[in-house]
Homo-oligomer: A and B are copies of this chain.
Amino acid sequence: MSVTVGELAALLGVPLEGDATVSIHGVAPLNRAGPGELGFLADPRYLPALRETGASAVILRAEHAAECPAPARLIADDPYLCYARAVRALFPEPPAPPGVHPSAVVGQGCTVPDSVTLGPGVVLGDGVVLGERVRIDAGCYVGDGVRIGADSWLKSRVVIQHDVIIGQRCVIDSGTVIGSDGFGYANDHGTWLKIPQLGTVRIGDDVEIGANTTVDRGALEDTVIGDGVKLDNQIQVAHNVQIGEHTAIAGCTGIAGSAKIGRHCAIGGGVGVVGHLEITDNVVITGMTFVAHPIDRPGSYSSGVPMQETARWRRNYARFRQLDDIARRLARLEKRLLADDEEV
């Protein structure tokens, strides 16, 4: 797709400086962009790259426009957001041709509109209900009674187990499993007795889930993922978890059973959230943090331990093992000196 900068500015609804007739056909980082390419400056650390960019147009804040050598400048308060919109306009996802591949297996009593695309080897169980333009790529398995809203897209080899409900415009990437059994057992004199997991998973609209993530079905009630939630790859969401609207969670994070996460949270990678606790709205959790207690105030929370050279780490860590003792010894010294003071 190719557009003029003038067309792009109109599409994005932002002011344009410079030559409106410049043609744009691609995007690139400022330091690599050439003729016909669009760049952006969000972080002032890249100002040196801006000053030497070969891009034909750059999205930036007004304060940086004077330093931009490109023939056209698009002025935006939030250049990264404006850039996201520009990329989406320049590179729209081509619609999949509708139709059911002959190797797909469709169960009984399914609702499959003509606008739906089912790839090779797709298997739908019985009673599956698909919305308009749902796209299910090669090798996905969709269990009995699943409902998927219009314009949602399962990439290849996704598994949706029985009775899961997925909203509209969702995207689920390859290898992800939704509706697997929760890890629920009662201990029976040393052996573990499985508790049937009777709930399901309810996923809202505009949810995006990465690759090889797992979302367990609820034990009694449902696991619930709110509208607009974004989950990265390799995340584990246990049974009965609730994730509030528009929360984003980075890869390799694990959320234990019945945890309730608020809305508009941003959770880093490798985080662990223990079960049966609540995190309020607008909470930021940095990478590799262990959320072992509820969080009832918005803000940023951490416990990821940054690395040191191994030898130094070991010395410090050895002291950590004595930390309670160190604190007691310090208190004794303080008391002793206080006593000295009083003697004086």
Q: For A236, what are the chain B residues with a Cβ–Cβ distance below 8 Å? A: 232-234, 251-252, 269
Interface presence of A174 (CB below 8 A):
yes
Q: Identify A326's interface contact among B121, B187, B302, B330, CB under 8 A.
A: B330
Determine which residue in A175, A213, A321 has the highest number of CB atoms from chain B within 10 A of its CB, and name it. A175
Interface presence of A66 (CB below 8 A):
no
Q: Are B190 and A246 in contact (CB under 8 A)?
A: yes
Specify how many copies of this chain sit in the oligomer: 3
- Quote the shortest CB–CB distance from A204 to chain B (angstroms): 12
| Contact status of A313 and B302, CB under 8 A, knowing A173-B180, A228-B191, A326-B319 | yes
| Contact status of A183 and B88, CB under 8 A, knowing A211-B177, A302-B308, A310-B301 | no
- Quote the shortest CB–CB distance from A38 to chain B (angstroms): 11
Q: Are A214 and B175 in contact (CB under 8 A)?
A: yes
Interface presence of A195 (CB below 8 A):
yes
Interface-forming stretch among A8-16, A67-75, A110-118, A154-162?
A154-162
Q: Are B303 and A305 in contact (CB under 8 A)?
A: yes
Q: Are B287 and A306 in contact (CB under 8 A)?
A: no
Determine which residue in A91, A234, A334 has the highest number of CB atoms from chain B within 10 A of its CB, and name it. A234
| Contact status of A316 and B307, CB under 8 A, knowing A121-B121, A292-B287 | no
Q: For A41, what are the chain B residues with a Cβ–Cβ distance below 8 Å? A: none
Docked CA distance A27–B221 (Å): 10
Q: Are A310 and B306 in contact (CB under 8 A)?
A: no
Q: Are A85 and B193 in contact (CB under 8 A)?
A: yes
In which size bucket is the chain A interface?
Answer: 35 or more
Docked CA distance A194–B248 (Å): 12
Q: Are A287 and B256 in contact (CB under 8 A)?
A: yes
Q: Are A159 and B177 in contact (CB under 8 A)?
A: no
Q: For A286, what are the chain B residues with a Cβ–Cβ distance below 8 Å? A: 310
Interface presence of A242 (CB below 8 A):
no
10 A-B pairs with the lowest CB-CB distances in the bound complex, closest first: A180-B211, A84-B186, A292-B306, A252-B254, A300-B310, A141-B156, A270-B272, A315-B324, A177-B211, A159-B174
A-B contacts, 26 of them at CB < 8 A, read: A88-B194, A91-B198, A103-B103, A105-B121, A120-B123, A121-B121, A121-B123, A137-B141, A141-B156, A155-B180, A159-B211, A175-B214, A183-B232, A183-B250, A191-B246, A212-B212, A214-B233, A233-B236, A274-B287, A290-B306, A300-B309, A300-B311, A302-B307, A303-B308, A305-B317, A319-B323
Given contacts A251-B254, A302-B308, A303-B313, 20 further A-B contacts (CB under 8 A): A84-B185, A84-B195, A85-B193, A88-B193, A88-B194, A155-B159, A175-B175, A177-B212, A177-B233, A190-B246, A190-B264, A256-B269, A269-B272, A272-B304, A291-B307, A301-B307, A301-B309, A302-B313, A305-B305, A318-B324
